[in-house]
Structure 1
Amino acid sequence: MTPPWSRRGFIATTGSTAFALGAFGLSATPAHAAGTTAGATSATTADTDEFATLRAKWRELYLGAGFSPTAEPFKTKLAALGTQAAGFRTAMAPASGSLWPDLVYLDPEPDTDTESFAFSEKMNTSYNRLRTMAEAYSQPGTGLTGDTALKDAVLTGLDHLHADVFNENKTQYGNWWNFQIGSPQALMDISVLLYDELSQAQIDSYVAAVDKFLPESLLAKYTGTSTGANRVDLCRGMILRGVVGKNGDKIKVARDALSPVFPYVTTGDGFYDDGSFVQHTSIPYIGGYGAVLNDGLGRLFALLRGSSWEVTDPGSQQFLDTIEAAIAPFVYDGLMMDNVSGRGITRIGTDDHIRAHSVMGSIVLLGQGASAEENARWRAMVKGWLQRDHYGPALKDAGLSLVNLSRLQTLLDDTTVTAAPEPVAHRVFHNMDRVTHRRRDWGAGLSLASNRIAHYEFGNLENYRGWHTGSGWLQWWGPDAGLGQYSDAYWPTANPYRLPGTTVSTKKLADGQGGAWANPRTDSAWVGGTGDGEFGTTGQHLQGLASTMHAKKSWFWLDDSVVCLGAGITSADGTTVETVFDNRNLGVSGAPALLLDGRPQPSAQGWSVTGRSTRWAHLAGHAGYVFPGGTKLNALREERTGAWKDVNGASGTTDPITRRYATLWQDHGTDPQDAGYAYILMPGASALRTAARALDHHWLEILANTPQQQAVRVPSHGFTGINFWEAGTAGAVTASAPVSVQIREKRDGTATITVADPSRVAKDGLTLTWKRRVKSVVSKASSVTAAETGHELTLTFGDLSGLRGDTQTVTVRLH
């Protein structure tokens, strides 16, 4: 289809725009016939050939390679790309202030900063549409491959945007990201794809525009918006500008500017040595900015490998280490946990599975530059995720790029790679207040808030109601129902006051409570825990968001369950306080049976239970719940209706969505004083196993559940977990400082003691005594300054405050 105007005709009939284009000397003369590139370094023929090699490599990195356009799933995806590009071409109608009628990017007098932000977004979206059209022109099998009219439309669009809004004489407005990252990246991607169709004057003008909005000064200091993933994005834009403009100095500056990203940080944005990744100072972000950083570095490493500008900084290996240390722990059966995705969890058109798909492709790409052993492990790991994701398979993701689709399809088809199972692992990310617990058939993630890590992120009108995602929010996925738990329109329909695992005041909060980019934190420092890599002990001194509510919350992570304790729950908000045992998304019509102490609840019209004395509950296809000592249980199955616009004003729609939910909770009453709770969550457990656990009064010993200490002992596992909120004694263990302690007695006659100082206050050290006969110390952390064995074990630790809550491990031999 030919558009209703031609590029030449458009220039001839649009006065001011035609003048602007003429002022830049743009012409249709092929690039090879023009003079040297503005700002380019003097280059030999070999240099020129190297830039051509880099352009070819970026085309392959962007478009993919090695797939058949006539085979599925590529055939359908390529056809869809062509249809989308054709629609963009047909709707394109250049006018002053817009390239498409629905994307007006210029307003002489925007009424608010929000409007100015929206206009810059539309400029960036315009460049993205042109990039889609350029990709459809360049990819085989789109129906528009090599289509001259499509190419002309892209070139006209580039000329129009350049003259109208994005050139060296224009001023940045709205969101800085659109001018410094989004639009330069899209423009340079298009310039690589259509390089042979551009005149030298066009190339000169486009790189000059990038130089205006992406100057080298943005990379001079590692601070502000030039850190972490943003820094990588800025470097990508400048490296491609160097490739397109044949300027090796630009490539070198940007390559060298990657180096501050590699070292572990101890504060602020970046990767930490425990695998944490933080962006925006206090937001755990492996699933958002961390994924962008991962993808960006992967592509840049691959692009520059073997060139004059190859990344040789030894710190780059440290980045490769983050694949297994930081990223993999948050990918479960093909989904990326929401608790490390910031405000992005409320974006329509994406979910936890979709966010993981590009990460998988990036890991496969990065493996090509890793050691053979790392590459083999990573490929086996990714293949396992691909095979186990039955809810949102990556190869059926319509939004997945063709290049990542090709990588993942090739891996899935590779019979030499055996898929790795889910690991059995417990990880404490003490620098970002997150915990992951992995078993073969279930997994969980815990989200906490402290004086270091925010309750939630609100900004750019996104994530209005994520208030309580740091209040002990416990996500889990089981062997039956589960992988779509947070994917199926969860965020617009779930009750934001009843996230699973949380203890909250029901005080009504404003949308975006605290304000945009406020990243509201608590005053609490004691947030974190310890673990031995398999089992774990976690605690949170919780302070409610914009609330007087306080609570001490603990989680003890075992093989088939999580023991959850709460104590000291106190509030003066004039509202009720609730602890939510679970909140399960049942989809459109789910109606699982609910058993309370073995008695089925009527399910025809749903069920509603208020304050019933209960020792155990079972939700069919989901989990079992045991309440040591009993509880006054509330249970509700309800239909909830919401819209994406309710949680995201930037990209949400007002279309109503309805989902069913099953919620189990305990009501602590209005303004409770020193209330508490105790329950055992058993993901995937049958009703029979749940009942058996409830009847086994010797399985669990609750040693303490007070505002001073929370502790449990599980004799069958040789497990003792204690959170000392204050110095004192719990069971057979005494601590001289507020710490988290875990003991595992093994069948081989050894025991492992792990200790952490989450509040980072033990400057005077710690004396820990365990009233248990101990023969000898097998190994100990360097923080242990003395150890006495015999009738009891006494461990003396030095200053723990500077370890930032890191776990210290001691192994002993028992008598």
Structure 2
Amino acid sequence: MTPNPTTPGPTRRTALLGAAALGTAAALPTLAAVAPAHAAEAADAGDASTLRARWHELLTGGPGLDLADPRIAAAVDRVGRAATTTTTGLDPSRTDGLWPDLSNPALSNHVASAFRRIATIATAWAVPGTPQYGDTATADLLTAALDWMLDHRYGPGHTRYDNDYDWEIGAALALNDTTVLMYDVLGADRRERINTAVRHYTPDPNLWRANRQIVTGANRVWICTVVAVNAVLREDTAFLAAVRDALSDVEGGGANSVLAFNDRAGGTGEGFYSDGSFLQHYKHPYNGGYGKELLNNLSRLLRLLAGTPWTVTDPDLDNVRRWVTDAFDPLIARGDVMASVCGREIARPSKQGHAPAQTVIEAVLRLIPSFPGETADAFTALAKQWITEDTYRDFLAVTDLASLTAARKVLDSPVPARGRLVGHRQYPRMDKAVHHRPSFALGISAYSSRVYNYESIQNENLHGWHLSDGMVLLYTDDLGHYSEDYWPTVDPKRLPGTTVTTDRPADGAGHRTASTADWAGGTVLPGTTLGAYGMDLRAYGSSLRALKSWFCLDDVIACVGSGIGADEGTAETIVENRKLRDPGATLLVNGAPALHGPARSATLDKVRWLHLDGTGGYVFPRPARLRALREERTATWREINLKYGTDTPVTRPYLTLWHDHGPAPEDAGYYWLQAPAASAARTRLWSQAPPLALVADSTAVHAVRRGADGLLAANFWAAGRAGQLACDGPASALVRPDGRTVTVALSDPTQLRDRVVLDLAVPALKVVSADTGVRAERTPGGTRITAETAGLHGATVTITLTRS
């Protein structure tokens, strides 16, 4: 039903407001205190013209742009050039479509794309300094284009088809923006027709689709944005109360709130979790896709509603702080959002080149005025770090005018940049882990019975079969590695870190599939870059199984595999698959150059160490037999994305290294140490004296020990023993001695156990500190640690002990 914002009576919103009046609001961002950005806002903040001016400023940068500033001038020039390019081919006299390439009456994306192109031209018309600014001919062309769309494609008289998103969100957002930009020129009758069309498709901030389903996650914020701007255009600002309440899902008792963490009982499961995970479309990790769009559009809505009678006062709004620091910061590697959480967007050419991080930065820049004080300083330091450390994509040269102005203020601020991120973080709710060191970052992508493997809808991401089969993405100073056509050209059957069979699935095969295994996750020692991670891989569409571990111990990652078996098919574990910045990058095998030339394959025997120039080193404490391939790979984006791909062939050089486990293997395994960004000399030294020793690689437990301090890292697949540590069942553990103290971190990666029991063969220990639910008791010859893990959802708990 359509909400009535004037309906009286108690609601969850009144309860929220009551809580704020009692003191809860003291912890909230003081949105009402946001200063007016220009003179137009001196009027009543609830006035439609004031709110329209706010949205106009977000779209254009507002009045008073200093065109003598080179950065501003360059941005204005970009706006003008984009409009000039977009105008090419626009012909409202056509009968099949405004542009020749948007003329398919069966593809809803052609409707939304046409409106987006119109908005691009309208932006240039509204920005001073562009060739289109205030131009009568341009305005006439735009009004004719709008009339054509309303006559032929969009509105109450037209039947929707294909994708609901295009009708209710994509087209509506762009049409609203164009109407704000050209408000006076359009005239009252045309504005009424536009508003009626938008409301026909998107009347209610709580519902969407033709059958009016409850809308969740990023889609809810998109829908709220459409309804809010349309309400401003209709001068029905009282309807903004419905938008404000929809963000908290007052109508649904909060079950679909986009502000609350989804850990709570009764949530939809879509949205942010307190561990930083973000899920959309039920069980897909999506921080870098829908998550960034939720943050982006919410930041716009908060700006629109700030200081009005409809300011968001839900106490859960304070969670946005943690979204930024937990759900985005660790997943950004020098301007690149890790692909493992970008869903099907990795298959879109427009989303490469660090484009997702740009959206995150723009959102955080908008949020800074909404979170004054320490949080504003923290966001400023973070945004400054993100902008300055990305030397691949110049944020100031690609962002919009409003964000450029905000970014310049951040860069001129006395608040220092945060500094390079160093840390290890795991996301149990979405089966992902990230490891940041000063010279590299690394992401591990798994899946389980709780999380889907990959998404391939709308004919996108057609070759994402192995994105969660233990994929390891390494981010070095080659900042463009996963840009510049990586995803169409990489061999999708040999993604780095994965264990696979060599058969080629059909396009999109097995997408939206959860594993039959529960074991995926690990343990992290707080305040360090020490983590144990693993997964019980049970491949989709085959009998392949493998137990896989990654022990991320500062600058070295120990990669352990066991129990690799398949009833049929040849199995492989991919050590590396690197797009080469230098096609002739030297590969050293045991110190000798190998695999010369642009295209060559080889079998490498008795490998003790490898070094790939520009990438780092690989040490094999047990000499290994590897396959190697240096090749030029050619593909088109259309091969992985029928909807947004292009047919232009692109060619990129690759070097691939893998273990060949042979046909129908039984209990095969692997073990190597990865040393990202290490020099050849360091790699050689580590091959002679490995910094880690393998303790166990059975089907019961994987474990390694670090020689420098005796640190023990273990993943227990079942009850078993690893050196001085024994466990009663599935668990992940780190044991770190430090003088007379020992710190133990542990978790239940299956997320099914009520408790985990570890026996540590170190006697006479007493507790110094322990997390809730963790206790220790002495046993003959050792110490027993019991951790209550029910309800922790894979989170790590710790206990510190000391010798008596």
- Tell me whether the two structures share a fold, i.e. TM-score over 0.5: yes
Distance in 2, matches of 1:655 and 1:580, equals: 29
- Give 1:97 deviation, angstroms: 4.5
CA distance in 2, matches of 1:373, 1:178: 39
- 1:119-166 Cα deviation digits (max 9, x unpaired): x11111111111111100111211111111111222222222222222
- Return the match for 1:556 from 544, 551, 559: 551
The superposition leaves residues 706-763 of structure 1 with CA deviations (integer Å, 9 ceiling, x where unpaired) of 111101111314421111100121111111121111112235x332211111112213
Match for residue 545 of structure 1 among 526, 540, 547 = 540
Shift of 1:96: 4.0
Q: How many angstroms apart in 1 are the aligned matches of 2:82 and 2:407?
A: 23
**Letter aligned with residue 554 of structure 2:** D
| 1:578 aligns with one of 552, 572, 575 | 572
Aligned equivalent of 1:805, options 787, 794, 797: 794
1:340-355 to structure 2, matched below 5 A, reads: 340-351=341-352, 353-355=354-356
Corresponding residue for residue 36 of structure 2: none
Aligned to 1:643: 636
Match of residue 136, structure 1, among 113, 124, 140 = 124
Residues 507-522 of structure 1: pairs in structure 2 closer than 5 A: 507-514=503-510, 518-522=511-515
Q: Give the 5 Å matches for 1:65-76.
A: 65=62, 67-76=65-74
After superposition, the C-alpha distances for 1:669-694 in whole angstroms (9 at most, x for unaligned) are 11110000001110111111111111
2:281 is matched with 280
The whole-number CA distance in structure 2 between the counterparts of 1:429 and 1:81 is 39
Assess if the C-alpha contact under 8 Å between 2:585 and 2:614 holds in 1: yes
The aligned residue for residue 111 of structure 2 is 123
Does residue 719 of the first structure (1) align with residue 711 of the second (2)?
A: yes
Question: Is this contact kept in 2: 1:421–1:440, CA < 8 A?
Answer: no
Q: Tell me the equivalent position of 2:262.
A: 265
| Letter of the structure 2 residue corresponding to residue 440 of structure 1 | P
Shift in Å, 1:302: 1.2
CA distance in 2: counterparts of 1:366 and 1:662, whole angstroms: 42
- Per the TM alignment, residue 410 of structure 1 is displaced from its structure 2 partner at its CA by 3.7
Q: Does structure 1 conserve the Cα–Cα contact (< 8 Å) formed by 2:583 and 2:598?
A: no
Q: Is the 8 A contact 1:336 1:352 kept in 2?
A: no
Of residues 441, 448, 453, the one that matches 1:450 is: 448
Instruction: Report the TM-score, using the length of structure 2 for normalisation.
Output: 0.89
Counterpart Cα distance in 2 of 1:602 and 1:100:
49
Q: Is the 8 A contact 1:597 1:616 kept in 2?
A: yes
Task: Kindly indicate whether the alpha-carbon contact (under 8 Å) linking 1:358 and 1:404 is maintained by their aligned counterparts in 2.
Answer: no
Query: Aligned residue for 1:40?
Result: none
2:622 equivalent among 629, 632, 647: 629
How many Å separate the matches in 1 of 2:521 and 2:374?
33
Comparing 593-602 with 433-442, greater Cα deviation is found at 593-602
Larger mean CA deviation between 58-67 and 363-372 belongs to 58-67
Q: Deviations over 1:434-469 (max 9, x none)?
A: 101111221111111211212211111111101111
Output the amino acid matched with 1:449: Y
Q: Which residue of 2 aligns with 1:227?
A: 216
Which letter does structure 2 place at the counterpart of 1:700?
L
SS at match of 1:491: helix
Task: Say which SS state the counterpart of residue 148 (structure 2) adopts.
Answer: helix
AA aligned to 2:693 is: E
1:331-384: CA deviation from partner (whole Å, max 9, x where unpaired)? 111111111100000111331512111211211211221142122122212222
Aligned equivalents of 2:347 and 2:122: distance in 1? 30
Aligned 8 A contact 1:774 1:812 in 2: no
**Structure 1 partner of 2:435:** 437
Paired AA for residue 705 in structure 2:
R
- Tell whether the 8 Å contact from 2:206 to 2:246 is kept in structure 1 after alignment: no
Which range moves more in the overlay, 784-793 or 48-57?
Answer: 784-793
1:605/1:245 CA distance change after superposition, 3 Å: closer
Return closer, same or farther for 1:810/1:77 CA change in 2, 3 Å cut-off: same
Q: Percent identity?
A: 36
Distance 2:166 2:709 in 1: 54
- Give the equivalent residue in structure 1 for 2:736: 744
Cα 1:371–1:84 shift into 2, 3 Å: closer
Deviations along 1:25-68, one digit per CA (max 9) or x if unpaired, are xxxxxxxxxxxxxxxxxxxx987972111111111122224653
* 1:415 positional shift: 5.2
Quote the RMSD (CA, aligned, Å): 2.2
Aligned counterpart for 1:255 among listed residues 237, 244, 269 = 244
Alignment of 1:9-20 (within 5 A): none
Aligned to 1:204: 192
* CA–CA separation in structure 1 for the residues paired with 2:712 and 2:95: 70
Does the CA contact (< 8 Å) of 1:241 and 1:250 recur in 2?
no
What's the CA shift for 1:87?
4.4
Where in structure 2 are the equivalents of 1:591-602 lying within 5 Å? Answer: 591-601=584-594
Distance in 2 of aligned mates of 1:471 and 1:725? 17
Q: Counterpart in 1 of 2:53?
A: 56
Letter in 2 for 1:586: L
8 Å Cα contact 1:48/1:246 also seen in 2: no
| Cα offsets for 1:512-536 (capped at 9, x unmatched) | 113xxx5122101101111013210
Instruction: Give, in whole Å, the separation in 2 of the partners of 1:803 and 1:88.
Output: 52
- Partners of 1:605 and 1:590 lie apart in 2 by 7
Q: In structure 2, do the counterparts of structure 1 residues 49 and 453 end up closer, same or farther at CA, with 3 Å as the change threshold?
A: closer
Matched, 1:769 2:763: no
- Structure 1 window deviating more from structure 2 (284-293 vs 783-792): it is 783-792
5 Å-filtered alignment, 1:570-719, equals 570-573=565-568, 575-587=569-581, 590-601=583-594, 603-604=596-597, 607-697=600-690, 699-719=691-711
Given that residues 584 and 598 in structure 2 are in contact (C-alpha distance below 8 angstroms), is that contact kept between their aligned partners in structure 1? no
- Alpha-carbon contact 1:775-1:789 (below 8 Å) kept: no
Classify the secondary structure of the residue corresponding to 2:708: helix
Residue in structure 2 matching 1:492, options 483, 488, 491: 488
* Conservation of the 8 A alpha-carbon contact between 1:437 and 1:444: yes
Shift of 1:701: 2.1
- 8 A contact 1:105–1:121 mirrored in 2: no
DSSP-derived class of the 2:628 partner: strand
Can you give the 5+ residue segments of structure 2 that lack an aligned partner in the other structure? 1-41, 249-256
Pairing of 1:309-388 with structure 2 (within 5 A): 309-351=310-352, 353-388=354-389
Q: Residue 543 of structure 2 aligns to which amino acid in structure 1?
A: T
What are structure 1's unaligned runs of at least 5 residues?
Answer: 1-44, 107-115
Separation in structure 1 between the aligned mates of residue 666 and residue 66 of structure 2, nearest angstrom: 67
Inter-CA distance 297–812: structure 2 relative to 1 (3 Å threshold):
same
Deviation at 1:276, TM superposition (A): 0.3
The equivalent of 1:13 in structure 2 is none
State the match for 2:720 in structure 1. Answer: 728
Tell me the secondary structure at the aligned position of residue 349 of structure 1.
helix
1:86 is displaced (CA, Å) by: 3.4
User: Which residue type is aligned with residue 205 of structure 1?
Assistant: R
In structure 2, how many angstroms separate the alpha carbons of the residues matched to 1:523 and 1:472?
15
Relative to structure 1, the CA distance from residue 225 to residue 79 in structure 2 (aligned partners, 3 Å threshold; closer, same or farther) is farther
Structure 2 match to 1:23: none
Q: Given that residues 446 and 474 in structure 1 are in contact (C-alpha distance below 8 angstroms), is that contact kept between their aligned partners in structure 2? A: yes
- Does the residue aligned with 2:287 lie in a helix, a strand or coil? coil
TM-score, normalised via structure 1 length: 0.88
Equivalences for residues 128-207 of structure 1 within 5 A: 128-207=116-195
